[in-house]
Structure formats: structure tokens, C-alpha cells
Structure 1
Amino acid sequence: MSIELSLERKVRIDEQISHLEDCVSELDLNGEHPITQLVDQINEAQSKAERRQLALEETVEQSPTEEQLRRVYTPYLNYLNNVESRVEDLQHAVVYFAVNEMQHQGDGARLRYTQSVCDELNKRFQIEAEYLPVIWSAYAAFDIVRKDFYAIHIPRDNRPILGAPILGHELGHAVADHLQREDKRNFQRRVESLASEFKPRQREIVRTAWREWFYELLCDACGALTFGPAYLVILTRRLLSSYPHNLPEGIAGTEHPPDELRYRFVRQLLDQRLADWEMDVLDRHISNFDQHLEISKESKPTEYDDWIDPEILSIIETISLDYINLDIKELMEETLGESEISPCRSRRIEVNKHILGIKTADKIEEYH
């Protein structure tokens, strides 16, 4: 009967937990690490499920009606779902730790460099989270334990310093996870106002697009406001697509904003905070990308400007500033001037000097 199936499921879950706890015990983790806390949460959820199991077994012994059985059976399954969901998180964590350990044998320098950049960035964001770099197919952030612990995907390449600014964007996803409901209230109101200006058949597409674009633009702000000019340079290289003004035609494909929008937003963030002579270091990169946009303008939709709302961008900027310990002024002084380099900015200054041509480096080992 179904009760037996549910009890068998509980046994399978318990076996997984036992095996995973053995794996975690072999990891070098302190007691406050998010993974250790996750194990504690799993054990707590497991105990709650066991109490529900006991209530279910007692009910079965009393020859219950179908309604009486349902009252304890369905909650028991829900508790098992909760345990299983957390076990899946722990499964991911164990896999990522194993990959990280294995990759250190051949790509240790790459991983150590990425970790050092993440550690420096972590001090700029007003959130508490831990990061584990792993070599994957491309840059990305995977939330192993949402808000607490992230696997940072990086590609296997020989020029990690050129990709370092992207880490500012990826850690921005952790910032996005920490946002409170009230943080986005003004944004949501403005999006509704903007959508109301479109034809009824377009409104849901506009709403969905901007709700998705919000996160990518917030992450761009995190990258720009922590890395400064280097982020804009790398962004222009990554946004070199055929249709920089592309707009969604349906609900699908709305995750990323148009390239032109991302570029203008980041450029504006820097232009507002850098002196004219500091922005001069970007002249060549800005000129090149502006030419790219000019050549591609024939594909720009006629309604493109109707989608772009300066007030929404201003709201996103304000939200990002609430979560960043801004040091872009000091970053520029130490990058372009003679000021002594502070340890809390050393990695980002190295990146800016290298990308802006102030200093060159062929191998990342030179930065260890």
C-alpha cells in the first residue's frame, strides 16, 4: 500500500544522508561553514519527518477512514519532500568540493587566483556568503545554499586576469539573492507604470522582460562599481553580437537585456563617478563599441526607445549602492595615480592596470 511506499522512501533518504555525512566529515570545514549548517538543517528536517512518520504509523494502526489517513499522510510526504530538497543541495555541495579538490592538482593557480578575487570582492558587498571556484564551461554562479554558499564557475583558459571583472557580475547574483521585498517595491511600481504605456498584448512581455533584466543589470552594477573601467572594457568584448538592440518578441528569451542597454547603463554608472581624465582611459574602448552600435543600428526595432526607462535604471543603481561598500574613488587613485596600493584593492588594481595597458602580465603566477 502507499504507506509502505512512503516508509521505503524515508529509508532511502536516510541512507543518502548517512553516506553524505561521511563525505562531509572528510571535508576541511569549520563548524560555521554553510555546508556544516546545512547538515544540521537536514538532521532537524529529518527529525520532524520522523515525528510525522510516528503519527502516521499510529493512525494506520487505528483503522482510519480515508480522510483521517489523508490528514497525516500528505503532511508526511511534504516533510519528506523538504528533507529530500535539502539532501539534493548537499549532494551538489559534495560534488563541487570533489571537483574543486581534483582540479587543484592541475589548475591550482587558476583556482587560487579566482578565490583571492572573490575574497576581495566579498569585502565590498554588504552580505555574508562563501564561494567555491570550480572550472566549468563558462562564468556563472550556482547557489548551492541560497544566500550562503555559491559555486563560482570559471572557464579553463590561460588569461584569468582578463575575466576577473566578470566575477564582480557573478557575485552580484548572491547580492540579488539577499534583496528584501521592500528593496524592489519602487522597481515593481515603475515597471507596472511602464507596461501600462504599451498595448495590452505587449504588457506582460514588458513586465516579464524587465523583471528578468533587473537581475542582470543589478549584477552589471555590482561589476562596474567594484571593478571600475576594467568592467566596461570586458563588457564591450563580451557584448559584441549581431543584434545589440534585440528585444523579446514573447515571454521566452527575456533573461538578458539588450547589449546596448547594458553598455549604456554601465557607462553611465562610471561616467557619474569618474573624473573626465579618468574616463579618458576608456576612450578607445568606448569609441570602438559606439562604432559597433552605429553599424548595427539598422536592426534596431522602432519601439526600442519605448522600452528603455531611465527611472528604472536609476532605481536599480540605488538598490545596488545599498549593498556595496563603494571604493571606486580610491580604486582609481591607486590605479592611475601614485598612491600606495591598499591590500583590499590589490587584485582589482592589478586587473585594471593590465586591461588598461598600464601594466602587462603574461602569466597569472606573477600575481601570487
Structure 2
Amino acid sequence: MPTELAESQVAFLRGKFEAAREVLDSLDTRIPVTDSIYSSVEDGFDNIEETRFLYERAYDQEPDAEATHELYEEYLGAIDTVALELQVLETELVYLDLHQYQRNSAISGRLDHASSISSELEDAFGIDITVLPVIWNGFAIDPLDENIPATGDLSQIYALILPRTQSDPEVYAPIFAHEIAHAVLDRHDELRTGFNNAVREIQGRTRQEIDDEAQFARSWRAWFEELFCDVCGVLTFGPSYLASLVRHLHHSNPYYIEEDPDGDLHPPPALRFDLVMDLSDEYFPNLLNGIRDDRIAFERHLDALEHSQPRIYDTYDYGELRTFITQEVPASVDHDLEALVDDITAGVTPDDRPERSHRLAANQYWLDTYPP
């Protein structure tokens, strides 16, 4: 019977599951989503046994029947499902284990700070997710439960990866909004679809202007997520996002466009800066004087390197697509930018606005005109 190798694989998966159970039992931090995945894996093993029983009974009666072959495929599919969900569970446990270790270390305060900002941003964006901050090697957000039935169509738990640094947390606090915004975009498929349609429409009428229109379309489809997240940074942190971002974007070639379709298709820093400036000019022009030095410094950086601008830059910096992002994203995403701007303008202190306290503190840190 052809189940021998499959049964060996199931035994291996059971061993991994037992090891995962030991880790889970040792953790101080328990997340309901993780328990859901654990239960789903447990149920998955029961399903494996049930489908194996049905297959073996059918095999004994009619080994060559089509229905028997289909049951064998169903049995293998049940194993694949458990393997996938177990892999997700193991990944979550790696982050939970690291999170717990760091909670009991000298950097626990940074995790508390990150968790508190994340909660404030979740409220501002109107989303309900679990954010697990860990100190690692830079800024990123990693959805830990993508595309598995146990947690539904949308990811519910995200690892928020932060740099290992001694810098004042206010220096990079606004960048949290960019990372959390990836989870926001997961909940706005209609925006991505609308943008892709806009790219397709432009692609159809610009074949004569752009040398490689397929790469142009590929680039912009990839850039959309990062630019969406920059817009969300502006909508939640206001001028402090621009001040923090220019340091994050500082690069020896700010006009660089990756032309390798297999490369890292991130938007050029110059394009990201221009888009954020467009939004800043629109939503809080009267506050920009408070970060004037930061803006001018980055503009001078761009001017000094303008000679390195590739020939294709002007054709890729497509105004119609930038306009889609700067208009459609603010209209579609929940945010409280107007209230934030009013608070900054009125000199409201962070203690007086607990729902915006971290974001007001970041603006006090960066704006010369809004001191603590």
C-alpha cells in the first residue's frame, strides 16, 4: 500500500507538533490566534487519520478505482494542510519565543513602547490585529498567519521587526505607521485592484513614451504598497513622518530604479520624498516651517545627486499614478490627521490626548514650533 512513506511523514509532523507544544507551554505570552492555529493543527491530524482509514478501506476493495485514487489525493492533501499550518505555528513560536526573551531583557522598554504605539495606530486606522514587536535587524512587518483557514482570509497576527539601536525611540516612531500600514493594505484589496487597473490603462496609451512598458507596469504595481504605506504615515503622524522619513530614506543614489524584474522593486527615495511633500503641502502647509531644516537638507541632498538620475526617471515618475495614490488612499483609509493637526496647532500636550499621545510626542520631538 502506497501510504508507508506518507505515514512516515505524518510521524515526523507529529514529532514537530509535540515540540511546538512544549514551546507553547513554556511561554508567558499566549495569543488567541496562536491557540486557534494550534487547535486547527490538532484537528488536522484527526482528519489525516480519517482520510487514511477511508482510503485504505477503498484500496482493499477496489485498488484501481478512480474513487480510490481520489481518496489517496485527499489523504495527501490533508497531510499538506497540516504541514502548512504547522509551519505557520512554528514561525509564530519563533517570534513569540524571541519576544518573551526580549521582554525579560534590558530592551523590554522598547518593546513596551512599540506595543503602545501599535495600539494607538490600530485605533487610528480602525483595524483589530495582534502586533508582536521584536528587536532584530531593521524595520519590517511579517504577517504570520497568511492564507490559512484557522484565522480566516486576513492575517490577524503580525511580527513588527525593529532595529537594534540606542537611538531615541522618537527618532523612528513615525516609521511604525509605515509598517503597520502594510496590515491596513491587506484590508483594502479594492484599492490595489483600482491602482492596477489605472496602471493597465496608462500602459495601454504610453507605449511610445516608455522603452520597457512591461517593466514600468511591474515597477509601479510593486511600488504601490510602499507608497500606500508612506501616505498612511503622513495621515497618522503628520509632519513628524516627513522629518523621520528623510533620515530613513537617506541613500547614495536616491533616484535609483531597479530594472531587474527579479530585483527589489522599491520606489526611489526621491519619488517617496516628493509624494510625501505633496501630501504635506496639502494637509498641513502651516506646520511645515517647523521641519523646514529637515526638508531643505534632503532637497539639497537630492540636488547634489541629480546628475545621477537615470534617463528613465522622468518617465517613471508618472504624475497620474502619484495622484491616484495621494487622492484615493486618504479617501479610503480611516485616519485622524485633521484632529492631529488641530492639536499640534493649538499646542495640545500628549498627556491631554491619550488617543494621540505618541504621535503628538513625536511631533514635539521633531517640530521646532511645537516644543514639549
Q: How does 1:111-122 map to 2 (within 5 A)?
A: 111-122=111-122
SS at the partner of 2:212?
A: helix
In the alignment, structure 1 residue 168 sits paired with structure 2 residue 167: no
- In structure 2, which of residues 229, 236, 245 is the aligned counterpart of residue 219 of structure 1? 229
Aligned equivalent of 2:198? 190
In the alignment, structure 1 residue 346 sits paired with structure 2 residue 357: yes
Aligned equivalent of 2:46? 47
Amino acid in structure 2 at the alignment position of 1:301: P
Contact 1:221 1:317 in 2 (8 A): yes
Q: Which runs of 5+ in 1 are unaligned?
A: 361-368
Contact 1:6 1:77 in 2 (8 A): yes
CA apart distance, 1:184: 2.6
Aligned equivalent of 2:152? none
Query: What's the CA shift string for 1:122-144, capped at 9, x where partnerless?
Result: 10113221101111011110111
Q: TM-score, normalised by structure 1?
A: 0.89
In the alignment, structure 1 residue 155 sits paired with structure 2 residue 171: no
Contact 2:199 2:220 in 1 (8 A): yes
Higher mean Cα deviation, 118-127 or 321-330?
321-330
CA RMSD of aligned residues (A): 2.3
CA–CA separation in structure 2 for the residues paired with 1:2 and 1:224:
58
Aligned equivalent of 2:151? none
Q: How does 1:1-368 map to 2 (within 5 A)?
A: 2-28=2-28, 33-62=32-61, 64-65=63-64, 69-104=68-103, 105-146=105-146, 147-159=155-167, 160-180=169-189, 182-196=190-204, 197-198=206-207, 202-274=212-284, 276-321=285-330, 324-339=333-348, 341-357=352-368, 358-359=370-371
Aligned equivalent of 1:366? none
CA apart distance, 1:29: 5.9
CA–CA separation in structure 1 for the residues paired with 2:106 and 2:227:
35
CA–CA separation in structure 1 for the residues paired with 2:334 and 2:194:
22
Query: What's the CA shift string for 1:181-235, capped at 9, x where partnerless?
Result: x333321121112223136971221121111101111111111111111111111
CA apart distance, 1:267: 1.1
SS at the partner of 2:159?
A: strand
Contact 1:230 1:356 in 2 (8 A): yes
CA–CA separation in structure 2 for the residues paired with 1:107 and 1:18:
31
Percent identical residues: 27
CA apart distance, 1:88: 0.9
- Residue 68 to residue 201, structure 1, CA distance change in 2 (3 Å): farther
CA–CA separation in structure 2 for the residues paired with 1:170 and 1:343:
22
CA–CA separation in structure 2 for the residues paired with 1:333 and 1:68:
68
Contact 2:246 2:298 in 1 (8 A): yes
CA–CA separation in structure 1 for the residues paired with 2:195 and 2:38:
37
Q: TM-score, normalised by structure 2?
A: 0.88
CA–CA separation in structure 1 for the residues paired with 2:23 and 2:306:
55
